Structure 1
Amino acid sequence: MKNITIAALIAMAMAGGARAEEFTVGAELPLTGTLARVGSGMQEGVMVAAEVFNKTNGKHKIKIVTIDDESAPAKAVAAVEKLASQGAVAITGGYGSNNISPASDAANKLGLVYITSGGVDDSLVNSGRKNFFRINNTAGYEKAVQGLLADMGVKSVSIVFSTKEATSDLANSVQKVLATKGVKAVTHSFDPAITDFKPIINKIKLQDKSEAILMVGYENDYVGILRAARVLKPPVKAMIGVWSLATPKMASEFPDLMPNVYGTALLPFPAHFDTADGKAFAEAYKALYKKEPDYLGQFGYVQSMLLFEAIARAADKGTVKKGGVAEELRKTDRDTLIGRVQFGANGDNPNFVHRMGQHQGKNIVIVWPKETATGSMVYPGLPW
C-alpha cells in the first residue's frame, strides 16, 4: 500500500511539473497601410483570446506569432507562407476580402486552417476552400442595414459603394431588397483609389435628393465621403455605413466627422458584459490595453478562441497535423460574444446577424435591433 502511495505521489508530481503543450498560431493582419486601424483592433482581440485561453485551458498553450500584411494581397500570401515555415498550425486574422482570398488559398495549399471575421465576400465560402472559416458574413450585415432603414421609415436611399467585390455585393443586395419594399435606392459606385467624393455627393444633393446615404466601403472611404458631405451638406437625414465605422478609434481620430453617424457594431461603447466569457474578455482586454474593448477586438477574440479550442480538442486526439483542427471547427456549436456560432460545410456561420450602432457624443449606442438596443437613435441626425 505504501509503495502504491509513493508511486502515485511521484506520478502526480510528474504530472504537475509537466509543461503544457504549446502550439504556434499565426496572426496575419494589416497593421500598417489603409486597413491598419481595423487590423490593430482585431490583433488586440487575438492577443486577448490567447491570454484567456492560456490562463484557463491548463493542458495546452497558444503562442501567437504576428506578421503585418501591410494591407496588401501579395504581402498577405507571403505572411501566411512565412508563418507556416515558422511552425504555425493555423492562421487567424486577415482583413479585406481581396487580401483574405489569396491568403486563405495559400493556407489551404499548406493544409492550414484560416479563420477570420474580416472578409464577407461570398466567394470566400463558395470556392471550395476546405480549411476556410469565418464567423460573419454579408447576410448578417444586410439584415442589420435593412432593419435600421426600416425603423427609420425612409423612402429613398443613395448607396455609395466601392467597386471591390465584397462592397459591391452588399450594395447590390441591399438595393434589390429595398426595391421590393418600395424604397427608392440609387447607387453610386467608386473606384477604391478615389479620394475626392464631392462629385458623387453633389449628384446626390442635386439629383437623388435622398433621405439617407448608405456608405459601403472602408475607413478611408468613409472619411472621404463624410468630409465631402460636410462641405456640400446634402439634405439627407442620416449618414449610415457598415463595417469599421462605429468604433471608438474612428471617434477619437475624426471627432468632427462622426457625430450621429451609424455603423455596424456588436458592442456599445463603453462596453458592458453579463456572461462569464464576456467578463473574462473585458477584464483581460482592459488589463492588456488599458482601455475599453470595441467590436473589432470582440470579433478577433471570438474567431481566435474558437480556433484555440479546436486545436486543443485535436491535440487531445493527436490529430492536429492530420486535418483535425478543421474537423473540430466543423463540430463547433456554442454561444459566443457575437451569438451562436456554427460552421457549415463551406466554413460559413449561418447564425450571424449584426447590430447597428450610432456615434452619440463620446459613446457608441446600439440602436438596432430594439431588443438589444442600449439607447434610442438620433434621427434625423447628421455630423454637421
Structure 2
Amino acid sequence: MLRQAPLAGTALLALALFALNPPGRALAADDVKVGVLLPLSGPVAPIGQNNRRGHALAIDEVNAAGGVKSLGGAKLVIVDGDTQGNPKVGIQEAEKLVTQGVAAILGAYQSNVTFPSTQVAEKAAVPYIDPVAIADTITEGRNFKYTFKVAPKASWYARDQLKFIKWVGEKSGKPIKRVVLMYEDTLFGQSTSKGQEASAKELGMEVVEKIAYPAESPDMTPTISRIKQIAPDALVLVSYIADAVLITKTMKELGVNVPIMGTSAGHIDPAYITNLGPLAENSFTVGEWNPDLKKKGAAEIAARFQAKFGVPMNGHAAETYMSTMVLVDALERAGSADRAKLREALTKTNICGERNILPYNCIRFEASGQSPEGQLVMLQVQNGKFVSVWPPEVAAASPVYPVPAWK
C-alpha cells in the first residue's frame, strides 16, 4: 500500500496512514504526543514503515505496562509526519508536528531530511531524537541544544566496515588491497563515502575509484561494466533499497564476481533478501544490530516484534525501539512532558547494560548531542537471512569468504 501511495493519490495515502495508526480510544488530556517523522509514502516508504514499527512496539509495550509512571500513567500516542522522502516536505511536516504539541520528534531516517528538520526543532525548542540518520553533520559543528543522536556517525560506519574488510581479507589469507567506493549522490552517500575513503587509506587499502550515481537510477549497466573492468578486491556500496537490489541484479547479469560490502540502508532492509532471493546470498553489510547478537534481550525483543508485525526485526527497527525507550526514560526522570524539562533530562541519559539491546554498553549524549559509544556489526546473508559475522566477540557465525562466484 505504501509503495503505491505517490501514484494513487491522497485517498490511498490517507488509507495507508489509517492502517499504520488505527483508531483507538480518544486522546486523554494527559496523553503524551510523540512526533514520528518518517517517509510513509514515496520510494523509501517500506523502510519508513519498518522504522515506525520499532517506535510502535516500544510505545505499545510502555502503554501496556501502565504508561509513564512519573506522569501518573500517561499514555504515549504517535503523531505521524510523512516526509515522503523529500527534505522540503520533511521541513513542513516537522513544523506541523511542532504546532500539534508533540513533546518530542523522532526521525527522520534519511540524513538529508533529518538535517533540515532538526533545524525546525531547534528553532522551536523541541527535543529531536535521531534514531537512524547517520550523517556526521547532523551533530557536528552546529551547537544545537535540542538534537540527540542515537545513530552512530557515518564515519563510524566506515571505520568499522573497513576494519572488517581488512580483517576478513587477512583472516582468509586473501588480503583486500584495492576497493571501489560506489555511493548514491545525496548527503548520506557523500558523507559516508568520505569516511570510507579516509578509513581505507588509514588501513592501507587503495581506493582505485569513487563512483557517485544519482539515487534511484533506472539502469546500472554502464557503472557495473566499469567496475568489471577495474576488477577491485571489494565493492563498497552506499545505497537505498531500490538501488541496492538493481546493483546486485546487474552484477549477476554481467558476471561481476566482486564481494558486495553494503552500508546498512538498502543492504540491510529485509526487502533486499525478499526481492533478490538467492542473489542476495553472501552479500555483506555493516549494520546496527541483529537478533542473533550475543546481547541479552535482543532475541526476546526480536521475537515480540516478529509476533506483532509478521516480519523480522532489523537494525533500524532496533534503533527506533531503543530511541523511543530513550524518550520514555527521559519522561520518567523529568516527571514532565514540558519540552525544556525533557531536553534537560535527555542530556543526562545513561541507558546501559541489559537496558540497551544495541551492540555496545551505554546510550548517552555528549554536548554535541551524539551518543559516543556506537559500535557497528558486520552481517552476511547466509541461507537466506542476515547473520552477524563480526566482531567475533558478539558474532553468531564466521563469514563465508572468499565469496563464491555467481552460479
- Kindly, what percent of the aligned residue pairs are identical? 25
Residues 1:198 and 2:255 aligned together: no
Q: Could you report, residue by residue, the CA deviation over 1:100-129 in whole angstroms, capped at 9, with x for unpaired residues?
A: 112111122222111122321122112232
Residues 1:37 and 2:46 aligned together: yes
Residues 1:134 and 2:137 aligned together: no
Residues 1:366 and 2:388 aligned together: yes
Q: Give the aligned CA root-mean-square deviation in angstroms.
A: 2.2
- Larger Rg over CA atoms: 1
Residues 1:97 and 2:120 aligned together: no
- Paired letter, 2:401: Y
Structure 1 unaligned regions, length at least 5: 1-18
Q: Which residue is 2:350 aligned to? A: 333
C-alpha contact 2:182 2:238 (8 A) present in aligned 1? yes
1:280 and 1:369, CA in 2 relative to 1: closer, same or farther beyond 3 A?
closer
Q: Which residue is 2:332 aligned to? A: 312
- TM-score norm. by structure 2 comes to 0.82
Query: Counterparts of 1:204 and 1:246 in 2: how far apart (Å)?
Result: 22
Q: How does 1:99-114 map to 2 (within 5 A)?
A: 99-114=113-128
Aligned length in residues: 359
Q: Which residue is 1:7 aligned to? A: none
C-alpha contact 1:134 1:349 (8 A) present in aligned 2? yes
Q: How does 1:1-384 map to 2 (within 5 A)?
A: 21-56=30-65, 57-58=68-69, 59-126=73-140, 127-136=142-151, 137-153=153-169, 154-185=176-207, 186-192=209-215, 194-206=217-229, 208-236=230-258, 238-244=259-265, 245-268=267-290, 271=292, 275-276=296-297, 278=298, 281-282=301-302, 284-314=304-334, 316=335, 318=336, 320-321=337-338, 323-335=340-352, 336-338=356-358, 339=360, 340-381=362-403, 384=406
Query: Counterparts of 2:278 and 2:299 in 1: how far apart (Å)?
Result: 32
Q: Which residue is 1:14 aligned to? A: none
- Paired letter, 1:176: A
1:247 and 1:374, CA in 2 relative to 1: closer, same or farther beyond 3 A?
farther
Q: Could you report, residue by residue, the CA deviation over 1:246-284 in whole angstroms, capped at 9, with x for unpaired residues?
A: 343321132143111111234446x577635x4663354
C-alpha contact 1:108 1:130 (8 A) present in aligned 2? yes
How many Å apart are 1:378 and its aligned residue?
1.1
Q: After the TM superposition, which of the residue ranges 329-338 and 216-225 deviates more from structure 2?
A: 216-225
How many Å apart are 1:213 and its aligned residue?
0.6
- Paired letter, 1:157: V
- TM-score norm. by structure 1 comes to 0.87
Query: Counterparts of 2:405 and 2:313 in 1: how far apart (Å)?
Result: 24
Q: Which residue is 1:8 aligned to? A: none
Q: Could you report, residue by residue, the CA deviation over 1:81-104 in whole angstroms, capped at 9, with x for unpaired residues?
A: 222222211111211111111211
Q: Could you report, residue by residue, the CA deviation over 1:30-74 in whole angstroms, capped at 9, with x for unpaired residues?
A: 122122122111100000110122233443321112222111112
Query: Counterparts of 1:279 and 1:240 in 2: how far apart (Å)?
Result: 25
1:99 and 1:257, CA in 2 relative to 1: closer, same or farther beyond 3 A?
farther
**SS of match in other structure, 1:372:** coil
1:280 and 1:111, CA in 2 relative to 1: closer, same or farther beyond 3 A?
farther
- Paired letter, 1:50: I
1:322 and 1:266, CA in 2 relative to 1: closer, same or farther beyond 3 A?
closer
- Paired letter, 1:360: Q
Query: Counterparts of 2:367 and 2:198 in 1: how far apart (Å)?
Result: 28
**SS of match in other structure, 2:346:** helix
Query: Counterparts of 1:289 and 1:96 in 2: how far apart (Å)?
Result: 23
How many Å apart are 1:383 and its aligned residue?
7.8
1:250 and 1:147, CA in 2 relative to 1: closer, same or farther beyond 3 A?
same
- Paired letter, 1:323: A
How many Å apart are 1:325 and its aligned residue?
1.3
- Paired letter, 1:118: V
Query: Counterparts of 1:247 and 1:133 in 2: how far apart (Å)?
Result: 24
Q: Could you report, residue by residue, the CA deviation over 1:310-366 in whole angstroms, capped at 9, with x for unpaired residues?
A: 12322x2x4x32511111111011221113211111111110011010111222110
